[in-house]
Amino acid sequence: MHKNKLVVVGAGHVGSQVITSCNYLNLFSEITIIDKEETVARGEALDHRHALPAFYRGNTSITKGSYEDCADADIIVIAVAVDELLTEDGKMPPRSAWGKQNAKQIREVMAGITRYTNDAIVIIITNPVDSITYIAENEYHYPKGKIFGTGTALDTFRLRKIIADNYKLDSRLVSGFVIGEHGTTAFPLFSTVNIAGIPFSQADEILSVENRLSTDFLTKEVVQTANDVFVWKGWTNTAIAEVTASIVQSIALDEKMVYPVTATIDGLYGYNGEVAFSTPSVIGSKGLEQQIELPLTKDERKLLETSVSDITLAIQAYQ
């Protein structure tokens, strides 16, 4: 009988929270934790096992492991990263500030994984996630669709929550996508945004609201709110873990949900394998099953070109 197995590589703030969020799903018989600090992985596994007597938890086997454990993994989440510190003026540094060090780490991780499997579906969180995903996918020739990054799925969650709070509604009633780079050049596609079936452009007229949200404000706030969390808390981990768990569930249950994840773009938006960025994508049991090209206005096309330019420069810098 097949036993669903999840491997999480990297047991820092993000990896630890990913384990928690994915364990809540009760979808895995086994969760294996890999970290370069083996005692950290051992302690993380033990801590999570101590939570298992809770009646809402499954009897999951949670253990410290090594790359050999990837051989029979169904899903692998990569959450390795260097320590992220505030800049001297107390701000969140650009994600590219960690790029060269994280690119070195992702190469070490992918070398370990591909020694034992190219069948598992690999989800990358490590920042800057677009360029890191491009390196992992293309340098290690991992099968297309079986490797992708969380991309702007987190930015999309943030956008939906900001809009929902303004209209005092459940955020699950808001749909729409942020695309491009997971970074300062991410931008919402407002033509895709609706609230309980109401197009964003008509929401102020139809729904009772005190504050009208401008598209400029929302575009900036999606980026700024990430900075707020990082500055106030010292790191971000809870929301990205929930995003990752949502994607993991869509794979495990073959839900065919659509998330804006990042992977190499080949034949969409005029790009042919030279860059990775986020676009809405169908996620199911085979991984990233379809990337969707949405129509863009001239202004949105310019914003995408800016995103692509930043990502391309990062990819070149990390070679």
Annotated catalytic residues are: 182
120 a known binding residue? no
* Exposure string over 101-115, b if 16+ CB within 10 A, otherwise e: ebbebbbebbeebbe
13 a known binding residue? yes
62 a known binding residue? no
The C-alpha atoms of residue 114 and residue 130 are separated, in whole angstroms, by 20
Other CB atoms closer than 10 Å to residue 200's CB: what's the count?
A: 20
Query: CB of 303 within 8 A of CB of 185?
Result: yes
- E strands present in 130-245: 147-149, 174-179, 187-195, 198-199
126 a known binding residue? yes
15 a known binding residue? yes
CA 200, 203, 207: angle at the middle one, nearest 5? Answer: 155
Sheet strands side by side (includes 187-195)? 174-179, 187-195, 198-199
130 a known binding residue? no
The C-alpha atoms of residue 240 and residue 236 are separated, in whole angstroms, by 7
Q: Which amino acid would we find at residue 208?
A: S
156 a known binding residue? no
SS3 state at 66? coil
151 a known binding residue? no
112 a known binding residue? no
Query: CB of 82 within 8 A of CB of 96?
Result: no
12 a known binding residue? yes
**How crowded is the C-beta side of 307, counted as CA atoms within 13 Å?**
30
Element at 311 (helix H, strand E): helix 298-317
Longest dimension (CA), the chain: 58
197 a known binding residue? no
Q: 3-state DSSP: the chain helix, strand, coil percent, rounded to 5?
A: 45, 25, 35
Q: Which residues are annotated as a binding site for NAD(+)?
A: 10-15, 35, 102, 125-127
Q: Which residue ranges are tagged as binding site?
A: 10-15, 35, 102, 125-127
